[in-house]
Structure 1
Amino acid sequence: MNHTTLKLIVALFFSMIIMDASAQQKYQLANQYYNSGEYEKAAQVYRSLHNESPHNKTYFNMYIQCLLDLKDFNQAQKVVSEALKNNPDDLTLYVTNGNLLERMGEIDKAETQYKKAIQGLAPDPSAVINLANTFTNLAKYDMAIETYLKGNKLINVDNMFVYNLADLYRRKGDVKNMIKYYLISAEKENSSSNIQTSLQRFLGEDDYTELQKQLYQKIQEKPDAYQFGELLEWSFMQKKEYEKALRQARALDRQLDENGARVYRLGEIFYKDKDYDTAIEAYTYVVNTKGRNTSFYLDAKRGLLKSKKAKVTQNFSYTKEDLLSLKNEYRLFLDEMGRNTQTAMLMQEYADFEALYVNELDTAIAILEEVKSFGGLHPEVMANVKLNLGNYYLMNGDRWEASLLFSQVDKDFKEGQVGENARYYNARLSYFTGDFAWAQEQFKILKGATSKLISNDAIDMSVFILDNLGMDTTHATLQMFADADLLAFQNKYQQALSKLDSINIVFPGHSLEDDILYTKAHIFKKLRRTDDMIEMYQQLIEKFPEEIKTDDAIFELAEFYETQLNQPEKALPLYEKLFMDYSGSTYSAEARIRFRRLRGDTI
């Protein structure tokens, strides 16, 4: 290649770049004109672009669209006729011509053009898709469907365009056929995950019945196609029909000879959604059916115990016998699995149960001291053991040991939530012991904590101490209240109630009256004295509508009516009051959701 030829090639290359840049600018200008409704100006630019690049379908289609918008049918006919003359094998041009004729009112001629396009199809997947997309862009979904169905026959490949057909039936609003083709697609892909995503996007609340109907039929016809079983399980989960989902998951586990992972994962979901009975069923299946052969055995055993614990402790009517039965199950588990790093998490849960429900603090402390002695624990696990242990020592009256443990964690974790927990507990300990100024300063610092829960609690405590420090220079009233708080924390509820009552006797009309009502409501709740608890909440709401704890009281009372007493008619007005009268409350959005759900609205 000589030097002159090379220069010509380079010059040609750069001229093409310049031409492309110029065309792009003109195209952007034409789009601006079109989007602003200036169709005549847009048509002029698109025509220029079409003349420069007659094979560019985008320029051609936009030029025709402008002419249609301008109702310049004569010019449109000339342009389309010229294109058909030059490209008679381009089937999309027949669709364009048909659309033009339809806009002119010549329906029969338009239909002829559409059919001519479909009749001219060749066994070429790209040609089929191109023609179907042209129909789809004109919202002629039946024609697009016909195109794909004929394409299937011509190419002689079963279900080649099933996903496209499913999408077209979706656009038509034909749910039954949409589901039909999505299920064929799932079978073709030998997977259900992609189809789940599509179905979740497009199925309405009432469409799951049709989906399940077709899935049952598919499972009968093709019992080995496991993806239909997976979709059935998924559909039950979407409807929160957890027992049915579990039944299907167990069937799949047996069919595919799995290790219980599928059932275990569902158990975790059931537990988080507080369906403890179904969670217990799931974990029990893994434990009893798979035994120690599965890697999920230990986790399933732990899940089983935590579900039983939640079922007992969150039920307002549990008995002493319920607690003793669960305690025995914890012991049996630890006898079976041993006390070691693998069971350390469950030992923490067992200690929590002993401390907070059985009220056996010495037992709880002994359990965690044993865990603390294990070597090889993850630093955060060890830190949480120390924090819980510190709380139990404090509940048992040993403030110094509690402070030592909190301070150790604070020193080891200067960043993150674990360290923030330690600092919060130390600040709370200072509050209990009457060092209010220091405690308030620490709570103030913790307002910026990464954990929203710690941050909110710290804000509440900081404001509470600050508001009440100035009310009494001797701090006597605040100290009495802190003493009552500590007694309640130590599960000494009767002593705490007596201390709170004495504040009103010694200091009648003090500003702590609303806080006393709120604290007593919490104590009565723990004592399961429902009527007394409700009375405290109601007094607080009626007497102190402007106080900082009032929105907490309203939400907690509404939630109790809804979840524990099954009295939605009493919960409804309270939720409504929250989002109407306390719109700035952090509970406002959740209260509105619950109100609408209880009222029967679709959310």
Structure 2
Amino acid sequence: MRHLLILFILLYSSFGFAQNPRLAENYMDQGEYGKALKIYNKIYEENKRNINNLYKVIDIHQQLEQYQQVDSLINDAEKFMRNNKSLTIERGYNLTLQGKDSLATPYYNEAIAIIDSLPNYTYQIANRFERRNLLDEAIIAYEKGMTANPNANFKIQLANLYGQQGNLEKMFDQYIDLIESNVSYRGRAQAIFFRYITDDPDNEGNRLLRKSLLLRLREKQNPIYNQLLSWLFIQQKDFKKAFLQEKAIYVRTKESTVELQELAVTAIEEKDLDAAKEILEYLVLESQVSS
């Protein structure tokens, strides 16, 4: 009986501890930062080497505008988190929150400069800039990381950041680069593109994507550009232009007419019978030539 009681107490204590972060998050959602801070302080004291615990305590102090406490926490953390290069960003961000941007900038520059000699820290540094919504700095960090280490690839991260900034042209370019290097990215990229384009060819997203692809096609005859243009024209329900792209791919590869057949079906479904007729006539002609 005594052993069961001890086991029950241990389980209860463990359960209570596991619930603490969730309870703290609930307090934060309700704006009760003082109560949340008490819980996270205990969690942080039990494992000071967990950077996420530190960030939680920092976030709460900043919500309470207790900026000096944040500086003290960072000073303390730097003693045993020497491999974490994002603390410099936190020191700068703490100044930004106080409206001291001119004092914060040198810390951001210091963090970015680390990448020159330690490119393996690129993601840690750039990601922390992202989380603090310092998008310009995050972009600089990712770009510097790829320059310092040619084997690094942060194009997905850069594409996402450019999208957040509304810089569609650069976003499209990053995703097209990704597709060109690995065609398996095509589906994911098209899902992203779909957020920014419409059936209106004069829509900004449509114009910029079309421009990026046409410029690349002039420089290099890569079928992936034709495929993406065909997809764009299908979204615009311009099946004749899509047909020109699919025909260009077929003429170059002579591999399969499946995409042309599917395009004809789509044109029929969308009641563009002129385009469908043109595609089908071409397919019939090609089948006769092949035979």
What CA deviation, in whole Å up to 9, does each residue of 1:266-316 have, x standing for no partner? 00000011111111111111111123969xxxxxxxxxxxxxxxxxxxxxx
* Matching residue's letter, 1:178: M
Contact preservation (8 Å) 2:49, 2:80: no
Contact preservation (8 Å) 1:259, 1:290: no
Q: How many angstroms does 1:19 deviate by?
A: 7.1
Structure 1 pair 21/290, CA: closer, same or farther in 2 (3 Å)?
Answer: farther
Contact preservation (8 Å) 1:145, 1:168: yes
* Matching residue's letter, 1:220: R
Is 1:84 matched with 2:82?
no
Aligned to 1:173: 166
Task: Please state whether the residue corresponding to 2:86 is helix, strand or coil.
Answer: helix
Taking the TM superposition and a 5 Å limit, the aligned residue runs for 1:470-549 are: none
What CA deviation, in whole Å up to 9, does each residue of 1:87-137 have, x standing for no partner? 23311111111111111232222111111111112232xx32222121111
Aligned to 1:258: 255
Structure 1 pair 180/284, CA: closer, same or farther in 2 (3 Å)?
Answer: same
Output the TM-score relative to the length of structure 1.
Answer: 0.44
Task: Please state whether the residue corresponding to 2:119 is helix, strand or coil.
Answer: coil
Aligned to 1:36: 30
* Matching residue's letter, 2:241: K
CA distance in 1, matches of 2:64, 2:40: 14
Structure 1 pair 258/290, CA: closer, same or farther in 2 (3 Å)?
Answer: farther
Task: Please state whether the residue corresponding to 1:31 is helix, strand or coil.
Answer: helix
Taking the TM superposition and a 5 Å limit, the aligned residue runs for 1:1-80 are: 21-80=15-74
Of the three residues 175, 179, 189, the one matched with 1:195 is: 189
Taking the TM superposition and a 5 Å limit, the aligned residue runs for 1:374-453 are: none
Aligned to 2:243: 246
Q: How many angstroms does 1:77 deviate by?
A: 1.4
The structure 1 segments of at least 4 consecutive aligned residues displaced by more than 3 Å after TM superposition are 17-23, 202-205, 291-294
Of the three residues 85, 90, 97, the one matched with 2:91 is: 97
Aligned to 1:212: 210
Q: How many angstroms does 1:18 deviate by?
A: 7.6
* Matching residue's letter, 1:123: P
CA distance in 1, matches of 2:157, 2:169: 15
Structure 1 pair 25/244, CA: closer, same or farther in 2 (3 Å)?
Answer: same
Task: Please state whether the residue corresponding to 2:75 is helix, strand or coil.
Answer: helix
Aligned to 1:132: 126
CA distance in 2, matches of 1:202, 1:62: 35
Identity across matched positions, percent: 26
Aligned to 1:275: 272
CA distance in 1, matches of 2:141, 2:231: 33
Q: How many angstroms does 1:243 deviate by?
A: 0.9
* Matching residue's letter, 2:35: K
- Structure 1 runs not aligned, ≥5 long: 1-14, 295-603
CA distance in 1, matches of 2:224, 2:254: 15
Aligned to 1:161: 154
CA distance in 2, matches of 1:235, 1:250: 15
- Structure 2 runs not aligned, ≥5 long: 1-9
* Matching residue's letter, 1:57: I
Aligned to 2:223: 226
* Matching residue's letter, 2:159: A
Taking the TM superposition and a 5 Å limit, the aligned residue runs for 1:292-331 are: none
* Matching residue's letter, 1:66: I
Q: Which has the higher contact order (CA 8 A, sep 6+)?
A: 2
CA distance in 2, matches of 1:198, 1:254: 29
Structure 1 pair 179/104, CA: closer, same or farther in 2 (3 Å)?
Answer: same
CA distance in 2, matches of 1:140, 1:287: 57
CA distance in 1, matches of 2:280, 2:13: 68
* Matching residue's letter, 2:29: N
Q: How many angstroms does 1:76 deviate by?
A: 1.4
* Matching residue's letter, 2:27: Y
Structure 1 pair 150/76, CA: closer, same or farther in 2 (3 Å)?
Answer: same
Of the three residues 99, 110, 121, the one matched with 1:116 is: 110
What CA deviation, in whole Å up to 9, does each residue of 1:171-210 have, x standing for no partner? 0111111111111111111353332122112446421111
CA distance in 1, matches of 2:90, 2:228: 40
Task: Please state whether the residue corresponding to 1:30 is helix, strand or coil.
Answer: helix
CA distance in 2, matches of 1:20, 1:156: 47
CA distance in 2, matches of 1:50, 1:193: 42
Is 1:289 matched with 2:282?
no
Task: Please state whether the residue corresponding to 2:195 is helix, strand or coil.
Answer: helix
Task: Please state whether the residue corresponding to 1:120 is helix, strand or coil.
Answer: helix
What CA deviation, in whole Å up to 9, does each residue of 1:559-602 have, x standing for no partner? xxxxxxxxxxxxxxxxxxxxxxxxxxxxxxxxxxxxxxxxxxxx
Contact preservation (8 Å) 1:260, 1:290: no
What CA deviation, in whole Å up to 9, does each residue of 1:227-259 have, x standing for no partner? 111001111111111110111111111112123
Aligned to 1:574: none
